[in-house]
Structure 1
Amino acid sequence: MTTVIDVVDVMDIDARGAQHCETTALGVLLRHQGLDLSEPMLFGLGSGLSFIYWDAKNLGFPFLGGRVKPFDLTRNLAGRLGLELLVQETTSPRKAWDSVAASIDAGHPVGLQLDSYHLDYFGSKTHFGGHVVAMYGYDDHRAYLVDTDQQGGAVSTSLTSLARARAERGPMTAKHRSFTLTAPRELPSPHGQIVPAIAACADAFLNPPIANLGHRGIEKAGKLVRTWLQRTDNPQQDLPQAALLMEKAGTGGALFRNLYRDFLAECTDLLDSSHLRTGHTLYAEAATLWTEVAALIKKAGESGDAQCLVRAGSILGNLSRMEREAMQALSRLGSEGLPGATR
């Protein structure tokens, strides 16, 4: 006897490959609205680049982050492009599911913020409550999602695992957060928003409220990374894991610097600006150095050689100065009379 599974709704989705979870989901939602932007452009227009050195009592090991807080990128992008961002949050699993199902039944893919630990297709079982996916369909047993290329692109997970992932509580989690994006009837031109997006990113990076953020955070990391062999009882695990997170965990490589480099490169094809070209040149160099830092951190963990961390710290000091110089150049775009600039 054949069992027939009732597919309630699986819409036609462009599940094009991407590297970072939030920009992957944003790309799915926006292409469904007729707005097709590259992943670097989505990241850059959302002023996504940042830096944080995060260490706390509840963390087993320090964390180096290279982007703004989860969901800030989505809020930034929606505001900049004049998109209607409808966000649903609730403590009720039933209301959370009903909201998502209603959107999908109406033909609208939905973004979900959840903890990737519970998703069936994730091979690495590490809690991360800031993960974002796009959901485009479901049946009696499974949810159909789009995740990063690394996680398989168009994937599925059991409804039970999805419910657990959405209900998880802890660092960076949200209360069953789901969201949809709706573009206005006249689709916005993103090119006029490039300068404001770059300026906002540069201002935040150059003027961090605390020493753990922006260029000051990179400088701090350069000093503290030298102590990492003494910071852990298991350097063979913790240091290579930190390096892996910098290069492979949805960052696009080089702690998101590859994505921002590519965004700036795309912008140089659209805008004639010496400041923009300077920023792109410096971020191209910075991206290479971040990958070198990750390799040195990994080697230090595997070999126990503290000199690797000394070299990594020295490079981070240089990166702090280099990225500050890049952002200072980019902050001057508004003085050139470019489209979208304000004097």
Structure 2
Amino acid sequence: MTTVKDIDARGTQHCETTTLGLLLRHQGLDLSEPMLFGLASGLSFLYWNSKKMDFPFLGGRVKPFDLTRNLAARLRLRLQVQETTSPRKAWDSVAASIDAGHPVGLQLDSHHLDYFGSKVHFGGHIVALYGYDDHTAYLVDTDQQGGAVSTSLSSLARARAARGPMTAKHRSFTLTTPKNMPAPHGQIVPAITACADAFLNPPIANLGHRGIEKTGRLVRTWLQCTDDPQRDLPQAASLMEKAGTGGALFRNLYRDFLAECTELLDSSHLRTGHRLYAEAAVLWTEAAALIKEAGERGDAQCLVQAGTVMGDLARIEREAMSALSCLKGA
């Protein structure tokens, strides 16, 4: 068995920040999960529905791997990414990194992993690999999935080779901290303002505050969007609350990031943003509960209520991000 020494196998709430946290702790940089998420300008909103999809999807963060790219750029980390169509080259690359004493991040389809409880295809899942033997890969995933876990090498190969929405070609990556790395806390303001600008000025109506407002209108029709509302609506609610989001569609994580920032920076704009995101987090959990109830009971009135809550959320988050965007001149 070959493993990287001194791994802090700490599973947290979201897959990508769990992996980033492990890779950076191995480099001697220990940041909280909310701080990693916030410094990466991770918060977003997406309403996604296409002809190929069985049911609409609500996303609360930037695209898979954009979070890693954002954090690396913000902290001037050396991000080395490998992609290949060859399974053999893909494995040789990560095995060489482990042999050299460096943990590796992997993007893959969680459906194929032995330990994964929910067998749903998700090609944007990210885990950290820290060891292997002749038959088994040793990984760190979220707390929900077990933290330090293992899966067969064959299942890992299938997960990495999967194709479909959000998948990558056997993507693996490592992070290295430079000697002249800027102080992470000094990057809080640009990280927040970049996130706010993207949220307030979305290029299409499915994103940002416009996307939340649009969802508030469309969610009222969700009973007509499915042949099996008792399956699809509770599953949509579960994805909002439990699918590695930290609860409330990532709003809990961003609320906690802003709370941590208020301990470091004295700003009324920051305190306003934190107060409003604390309010938004509660309302997102309420909206998810209403969607779940609508599916279980077939009650359209619950979706009307969810739509009203989302209308309030569009306003609250717009106000929060407008306040946070003012940090530029603070």
Calculate the aligned-residue CA RMSD, in Å.
Answer: 0.7
Which residue of structure 2 aligns with residue 246 of structure 1? Answer: 240
Where does residue 288 of structure 1 map in the other structure?
282
Q: Does structure 2 retain, via aligned residues, the 8 Å contact 1:10–1:144?
A: no
Partner of 1:339: none
Structure 2: segments with no counterpart, 5+ residues: none
2:153 to 145, 159, 170: 159
Query: Paired residue for 1:148?
Result: 142
Q: Structure 1, residues 124-183: CA drift from partner, whole Å, max 9, x if none?
A: 100000000000000000000000000000000000000000000000000000000000
| Structure 1 residue aligned with 2:102 | 108
Give, as a single letter, the amino acid of the residue that structure 2 aligns with 1:223.
R
What SS does structure 2 have at the residue aligned with 1:151? coil
SS state at 1:19 partner: coil
Secondary structure at 1:172 match in 2: coil
Distance 2:313 2:4 in 1: 46
TM-score (norm 2): 0.99
Question: Are 1:276 and 1:329, in contact at CA under 8 Å, matched by a contact in 2?
Answer: yes
Q: What secondary structure, in the 3-state scheme, does the structure 1 residue paired with 2:249 have?
A: coil
CA distance in 1, matches of 2:4, 2:294: 47
Where does residue 312 of structure 1 map in the other structure?
Answer: 306
Give SS of 2:54's match: coil
Alpha carbons 1:223, 1:313 under 8 Å: kept: yes
Structure 1 equivalent of residue 174 of structure 2: 180
Instruction: Work out whether residues 11 and 140 of structure 2, in 8 Å CA contact, stay in contact via their aligned partners in 1.
Output: no
- Structure 1 stretches of 4+ moved >6 Å: none
Counterpart in the other structure of 2:133: 139
Write the distance in 2 (CA, Å) between the matches of 1:78 and 1:187. Answer: 10
The residue that corresponds to 1:3 in the other structure is none
After TM superposition, the structure 1 = structure 2 runs for residues 1-343 of structure 1, keeping only pairs within 5 Å, are 7-336=1-330
Residues in 1 aligned to 2:5 and 2:187: alpha-carbon distance in whole angstroms: 31
Give the Cα–Cα distance (whole angstroms) in 2 for the partners of residues 161 and 71 of structure 1.
Answer: 22
Q: What are the superposed Cα offsets for residues 66-114 of structure 1, whole Å, 9 maximum, x if unpaired?
A: 0000000000000000100000000000110011011111100000000
Q: What is the identity, as a one-letter code, of the residue corresponding to 2:243?
A: A
How far does residue 12 in structure 1 lie from its aligned partner after superposition?
Answer: 2.5
In 2, Cα distance between equivalents of 1:146 and 1:188: 27
Q: Percent of pairs identical after alignment?
A: 83
CA distance in 2 between partners of 1:226 and 1:128 (Å): 26
Structure 1 residue 17 displacement after superposition: 2.9
CA separation in 1, counterparts of 2:41 and 2:8? 24
**Aligned equivalents of 2:272 and 2:99: distance in 1?**
48
CA distance in 1, matches of 2:153, 2:328: 48
TM-score by length of 1: 0.95
CA contact (8 A) 2:4 2:103 kept: no
Name stretches of at least 5 consecutive residues in structure 1 with no aligned partner. Answer: 1-6, 337-343
Question: What are the Cα deviations for residues 218-257 of structure 1, in whole angstroms up to 9, with x where unaligned?
Answer: 0000000000001100000000000000000000000000
Structure 1 residue 189, shift from structure 2 partner: 1.1
What SS class does the counterpart of residue 127 from structure 2 fall into? strand
Check whether the contact 1:11–1:137 (CA below 8 A) recurs between aligned residues. no
Residue aligned with 1:255, SS: helix
Aligned-partner Cα distance in 1 for 2:118–2:260: 33
Q: What is the deviation of 1:8?
A: 2.7
Distance 1:302 1:330 in 2: 38
Q: Report the AA paired with residue 219 of structure 1.
A: E
Cα pair 1:70 1:172 within 8 Å, conserved? yes
